[in-house]
Amino acid sequence: MKTILITGGNSERGIGLGTAKRFAEEGWRVIILDLAKEPGDVCKKVVENSNGAYYSCDVSNKARVDSVISDIFKKIGFVDVLFNNAGILQWVPFVDVTEEQYDREMNVNLKSMYLVGQPIARKMMEEKRGVIINSGSMGGKDGAAFQSVYAASKGAVIQLTKIMAKELGPYGIRVNSICPGIIQTDIGAGAPDPVVPWIERTPLGRLGDTDDVAGVVWFLANEDSKYLTGQAINITGGMMTF
């Protein structure tokens, strides 16, 4: 049985849980890390039915991440695929961003990829196999006003992914980032209305849903993408083309 570890997979309408459901349906074991002390009903069902596990874990907290990952290695074993999905978005004008807001968003969106990625990648290097998928964003290529820290963190994730691919490729490990556009989850709450509505800027004529992302993560996790690494894959219905 193959195992995927998904960070930020508790939110009912979120990309993490949408992806978790897809992998569980395909017969994979799903491990989810998220902030809540206890998982929500849907998340609980997915991890139980897939013979996986839920861990309450702030992925920006090194001590907690270390202890969770070592528990996973001890009780479950090898993680075939890591989906670094947890992320937050704060809508604040550049000139008003506080140091605290900056640190929080950078730590959750970027530092977590080191904290969770390092122990998992070390184990993958020993086994000479594995796949890592990092959550970037369309915002990491061309972000919107009032999301300066988000866009900076996601741009950094895209760059980090390229370097991880270069360093880990020789060990048979593939690393890619995904760059979703507007996916209908709770993360966009509080966004100012765009001048041109997002849907009018989307050639495919609709906003994305979590299935659209889960399908791409599934492809990246599997052998059909075995010659693909270091890429930043847009999932934007055509809104972003570079």
Residues that bind ligand NAD (CB under 6 A): 7-8, 10-11, 13-16, 33-35, 58-60, 85-88, 108, 135, 137-138, 180, 182-183, 185-188
**CB-based closest residue to ligand NAD:** 87
Toward ligand NAD, which CB reaches closer, 92 or 125? 92
Considering the complex, what minimum distance in angstroms separates the CB of residue 126 from ligand NAD? 26
Considering the complex, what minimum distance in angstroms separates the CB of residue 101 from ligand NAD? 14
Toward ligand NAD, which CB reaches closer, 98 or 184? 184
Residue where the block lists tokens 């996916």:
183
Q: Percentages helix, strand, coil for the chain, rounded to the nearest 5?
A: 45, 15, 35
Considering the complex, what minimum distance in angstroms separates the CB of residue 51 from ligand NAD? 21
- Token output for 42: 């849907």
- Among this protein's residues, is 102 annotated catalytic? no
Toward ligand NAD, which CB reaches closer, 168 or 240? 240
One-character DSSP codes across 117-155 = HHHHHHHHHHHT-EEEEEE--THHHHPPTTBHHHHHHHH
Catalytic residue among 55, 102, 150, 227: 150
Considering the complex, what minimum distance in angstroms separates the CB of residue 3 from ligand NAD? 18
Q: What is the DSSP code (8-state) at residue 76?
A: T
Q: Where are the alpha helices (DSSP H) in the chain?
A: 15-25, 41-49, 62-75, 99-106, 112-127, 139-142, 148-168, 210-221
**Catalytic annotation, residues:** 150
